[in-house]
Chain A
Amino acid sequence: MLEYAWLILAFPLAGVAGNVFLGGKLGRRFVSLLSCGAVALSFVSSVAVLSAILALEPASRHFERHIFTWFLSGSFRVEGTILVDPLSVLMTLVVSGVAFLIHVYSTGYMAGDSGYRRYFVYLNLFTFSMLALVLAGNFLLLYIGWEAVGLCSYLLIGFWFRKKSAADAGRKAFIVNRIGDFGFAIGILLIFKTFGTLDFSGVFTSAAKLFPEGAPVITAITLLLFMGATGKSAQIPLYTWLPDAMEGPTPVSALIHAATMVTAGVYMVARTSSLFLLSPISMGVVAAIGIATAIYAASIGLVQNDIKRILAYSTISQLGYMFLACGVGAFATGIFHLMTHAFFKALMFLVAGAVIHALSGEQDIRHMGGLRRKLPVLYWTFMAAALAIAGVFPFAGFFSKDEILWEALRFRGPVVWALGAAGALMTSFYIFRLVFLVFHGTPRHDKHVHAPSLSIQAPLVCLALLSAVGGLVGAPLLFGRHLVREFLNPVFQTSIAGQVAEHPAFIGNQTVVYEVAMALVSLSIAGLGIVLAYRFYLASPEVPLRMRERFGRLYSLLVNKYYVDEMYGAVFVRPTTKLASVLWRFFDSLVIDGAVNGSAYAVEAGGRVLRRIQTGALQSYALSMALGAVAILAFWLLR
């Protein structure tokens, strides 16, 4: 089966081709079946590849398959190779599985839309690109997948392109991403210059041998790569596109901006872990930006009123936690949180979409309420996701987030742990604020509530189950061993051993007891968040209003997202547009158009002068002929 791993990629690509060429003629049912079927086959192939990989010895779970040769120029070769190892297999499972559920959901959600076929073409194309990104065996293919998912993100955010805000949001997403990709590309060039190859196996195996820890060139490379990750995974300072990206259809937000595309940065950092581990500075930067973003975004999410915006800032915050994990060396933990986050965040977005659909387009949570009884399936599935993200045992998020906090405490100390815990408290609070305001209480709207269709409900239930039990693969006490860490660790092998030796464990010997104690602390933090949210929004709703008055300045700072968009606009966007318009008016109109028009004018003037030779008088022509003959004769005679 490993030989056929490329099928994982082929099915969605065939879906794109089928929809583009045949979809118009064969109708919606064909488009739905082809798109969902293609991703389903991709998922089935991923499962088959997983079982094939599990059959191998843990140390030898590394398989590369060369598909085609792309560049061949002297000694520079770039092949199209796919790499199948535990990390990429886990990613393909998550991507294809969640993508399949979202495709099914979309058949119900987008049923009334006129751009149905276009939507599924883009969605399949995105699935293909993301799978290509995670299966890539060298940096060039990774970069191509990276850019392609950015393109699909642009196409899908601006799907309803006739709406100006959507078109602007798509453009903003693409441009901000591109800024990060600029750093990423330079990082890749630097890798090529340093190692002479772009293959993962070539670069990673020789990195530790060639460079000591802290080598400047490795630090430079990893910082540049991380710059790309901040753009794609919406960290400080390149996160501003993600809240605006909520203009796109909600399934798009679920797939791209929660479960898959934004996780590409985390995947990339995990994949290049051997390089990052050689540079303590970069690890510090990754962890610092991760935890800073986690708290920053959570603080903004506390006061937002648009249901999708809350979830968007929540995503940014949770991505920060994943980078925190990678930054302290717990790469497997970061990927584990990526997986659980994909389940519960996608679920939350899908439920939000169903709620918006049910209320005919209402997105402001201040105008919702009391939906618990009218939409029970939505309520209970969302509750599963909320408990997961808050970190309540035994839901998925508890295991992954608690592990991140534990690793942070172990490798970086109590301060980082405290910041992470503060973020967790805020997370629990804002999510349950959302739950209580949307589903509990008396209805603050007077709309007729439409029940969602089966194609919408079924994926929600699947994801809810995954949010509930998906974390158990990481529960050491249950199976006796931590399945996910065991599965992924060979990929990070050089890493973990070195890391543990470098950074002395913060705690001494009583690790297990301490770990259980910290888990209880995490649980109580989650519980505290839920209780506070209950106090604020159900028991005594006047409390938030009073707080808003007392802390007016702080409140408006948070609601306006710290005015970062305005600051970027003033510092970067406006000067650039001004420069562009100055260049247009002066350089383009005068210099370039002047040169082009001027050369045409010069030719015409020359012609106007030279045509006077044609006098029409026969004898002047005869005279010039005679003079010419004389000149030639003279030249020849006098030579």
Chain B
Amino acid sequence: MPVTLSHYLAVSAMLFVIGVAGVLLRRNLLVVLMSIELMLNAANLAFVTFSRAMGGMDGQIIALFVMTIAAAEVAVGLAIVLVVFRVRESTNIDKINLMKW
């Protein structure tokens, strides 16, 4: 069976769903960050796939943008995780719950 566009998109979708599951279900803060990265990469895959399928370079350029943004976001996110760890002495996400009613 030849590998078509749909297969790539399916992979991308599966990666995305795994990422969402990770964000919603894992308790370690760092794993949540990694899951967010996974979602971004799934989106990158989709962009590049469409770029290959339609012939233009737009998708790949957007993928570059996404990577830049991901990098910046990880930097800030890890800084926050560091500070939270200093205060809470734990990376358990359930322990960060002060902003509630």
A25 CB to closest chain B CB (Å) equals 62
User: Any chain A CB within 8 A of the CB of B97?
Assistant: yes
Are the C-beta atoms of A616 and B100 separated by less than 8 Å?
yes
Are the C-beta atoms of A619 and B101 separated by less than 8 Å?
no
Q: What is the CA–CA distance of A594 and B50 in the complex, to the nearest angstrom?
A: 65
User: Any chain A CB within 8 A of the CB of B10?
Assistant: no
Are the C-beta atoms of A619 and B100 separated by less than 8 Å?
no
Q: A residues within 8 A CB of B23?
A: 619, 622, 626
User: Any chain A CB within 8 A of the CB of B75?
Assistant: no
User: Any chain B CB within 8 A of the CB of A602?
Assistant: no
B97 CB to closest chain A CB (Å) equals 4
Are the C-beta atoms of B24 and A615 separated by less than 8 Å?
no
Known pairs A617-B94, A618-B93, A618-B96; A611 contacts B20 (CB<8 A): no
Q: What is the CA–CA distance of A410 and B83 in the complex, to the nearest angstrom?
A: 112
Chain A interface residues toward B at CB < 8 A: 611-612, 614-619, 622-623, 626
Known pairs A619-B24, A622-B23; A614 contacts B93 (CB<8 A): no
Q: A residues within 8 A CB of B3?
A: none
Q: B residues within 8 A CB of A614?
A: 99-101
User: Any chain A CB within 8 A of the CB of B72?
Assistant: no
Q: Which 6 A-B pairs have the closest CB atoms?
A: A616-B100, A616-B97, A611-B101, A614-B101, A616-B99, A614-B100
Partner of B93, one of A612, A615, A619, A623: A619
Chain B's closest residue to A615 (CB) is: B100
**Other 12 A-B pairs with CB < 8 A, given A616-B101, A617-B93:** A611-B101, A614-B99, A614-B101, A615-B101, A616-B97, A616-B98, A617-B97, A617-B100, A618-B93, A618-B97, A626-B23, A626-B24
Q: What is the CA–CA distance of A80 and B34 in the complex, to the nearest angstrom?
A: 84
Q: A residues within 8 A CB of B100?
A: 614-617
A75 CB to closest chain B CB (Å) equals 62
Q: What is the CA–CA distance of A97 and B96 in the complex, to the nearest angstrom?
A: 90
Are the C-beta atoms of B101 and A623 separated by less than 8 Å?
no
Are the C-beta atoms of B24 and A622 separated by less than 8 Å?
yes
Partner of B97, one of A611, A615, A623, A626: A615
Are the C-beta atoms of A626 and B20 separated by less than 8 Å?
yes
Q: What is the CA–CA distance of A616 and B98 in the complex, to the nearest angstrom?
A: 6
Chain B's closest residue to A619 (CB) is: B24
Q: B residues within 8 A CB of A616?
A: 96-101
A-B contact pairs, 17 of them (CB 8 A): A611-B101, A612-B101, A614-B99, A614-B100, A615-B97, A615-B101, A616-B98, A616-B99, A616-B101, A617-B93, A617-B97, A618-B32, A618-B93, A619-B25, A622-B23, A626-B20, A626-B23
Q: B residues within 8 A CB of A623?
A: 24
Q: A residues within 8 A CB of B98?
A: 616
Q: B residues within 8 A CB of A622?
A: 23-24
A623 CB to closest chain B CB (Å) equals 5
Q: What is the CA–CA distance of A612 and B98 in the complex, to the nearest angstrom?
A: 13
Chain A's closest residue to B36 (CB) is: A622
Q: B residues within 8 A CB of A612?
A: 101
Q: A residues within 8 A CB of B25?
A: 619
Chain A's closest residue to B101 (CB) is: A611
**Is chain A's binding surface mostly helix, strand, loop or mixed?**
helix
Q: What is the CA–CA distance of A616 and B97 in the complex, to the nearest angstrom?
A: 4
Q: What is the CA–CA distance of A264 and B100 in the complex, to the nearest angstrom?
A: 73
Q: B residues within 8 A CB of A611?
A: 101
Q: What is the CA–CA distance of A477 and B75 in the complex, to the nearest angstrom?
A: 119
Q: What is the CA–CA distance of A615 and B100 in the complex, to the nearest angstrom?
A: 5
Q: What is the CA–CA distance of A619 and B96 in the complex, to the nearest angstrom?
A: 10
Q: What is the CA–CA distance of A62 and B25 in the complex, to the nearest angstrom?
A: 98
Q: What is the CA–CA distance of A626 and B25 in the complex, to the nearest angstrom?
A: 12
Q: What is the CA–CA distance of A616 and B100 in the complex, to the nearest angstrom?
A: 4
Q: What is the CA–CA distance of A615 and B24 in the complex, to the nearest angstrom?
A: 15
User: Which residues of B from 46 to 101 have beta carbons under 8 Å from A?
Assistant: 93-94, 96-101
Q: B residues within 8 A CB of A617?
A: 93-94, 97, 100
B18 CB to closest chain A CB (Å) equals 13
Q: What is the CA–CA distance of A611 and B101 in the complex, to the nearest angstrom?
A: 6
Q: What is the CA–CA distance of A619 and B20 in the complex, to the nearest angstrom?
A: 11
Chain B CB within 10 A, most for which of A614, A617, A626: A617
Q: A residues within 8 A CB of B93?
A: 617-619
B100 CB to closest chain A CB (Å) equals 3
Q: B residues within 8 A CB of A619?
A: 23-25, 93
Q: What is the CA–CA distance of A619 and B29 in the complex, to the nearest angstrom?
A: 10
Q: A residues within 8 A CB of B101?
A: 611-612, 614-616
Chain A's closest residue to B21 (CB) is: A626
Chain B CB within 10 A, most for which of A615, A618, A623: A618
Q: What is the CA–CA distance of A212 and B16 in the complex, to the nearest angstrom?
A: 95
Q: What is the CA–CA distance of A618 and B98 in the complex, to the nearest angstrom?
A: 10
B19 CB to closest chain A CB (Å) equals 11
Q: B residues within 8 A CB of A626?
A: 20, 23-24
B93 CB to closest chain A CB (Å) equals 6
Q: What is the CA–CA distance of A496 and B94 in the complex, to the nearest angstrom?
A: 102
Q: What is the CA–CA distance of A622 and B19 in the complex, to the nearest angstrom?
A: 12
B36 CB to closest chain A CB (Å) equals 10
Q: B residues within 8 A CB of A615?
A: 97, 100-101
Chain A CB within 10 A, most for which of B20, B25, B32, B100: B100
Q: What is the CA–CA distance of A2 and B100 in the complex, to the nearest angstrom?
A: 82
B67 CB to closest chain A CB (Å) equals 22
Q: A residues within 8 A CB of B20?
A: 626
A617 CB to closest chain B CB (Å) equals 5
Q: A residues within 8 A CB of B32?
A: 618
Q: A residues within 8 A CB of B97?
A: 615-618
Q: What is the CA–CA distance of A29 and B9 in the complex, to the nearest angstrom?
A: 102
Q: What is the CA–CA distance of A612 and B101 in the complex, to the nearest angstrom?
A: 7
Q: What is the CA–CA distance of A619 and B21 in the complex, to the nearest angstrom?
A: 11
Q: What is the CA–CA distance of A615 and B23 in the complex, to the nearest angstrom?
A: 17
Chain B's closest residue to A613 (CB) is: B101
Chain B's closest residue to A623 (CB) is: B24
Q: What is the CA–CA distance of A612 and B100 in the complex, to the nearest angstrom?
A: 8
A632 CB to closest chain B CB (Å) equals 15
Q: What is the CA–CA distance of A619 and B93 in the complex, to the nearest angstrom?
A: 8
Q: What is the CA–CA distance of A626 and B24 in the complex, to the nearest angstrom?
A: 9
A626 CB to closest chain B CB (Å) equals 6
Chain A's closest residue to B97 (CB) is: A616
A310 CB to closest chain B CB (Å) equals 79
Chain B's closest residue to A607 (CB) is: B101
Chain A's closest residue to B29 (CB) is: A618
B42 CB to closest chain A CB (Å) equals 14
B14 CB to closest chain A CB (Å) equals 16
Q: What is the CA–CA distance of A41 and B85 in the complex, to the nearest angstrom?
A: 92
Q: What is the CA–CA distance of A593 and B4 in the complex, to the nearest angstrom?
A: 72
Q: What is the CA–CA distance of A616 and B94 in the complex, to the nearest angstrom?
A: 9
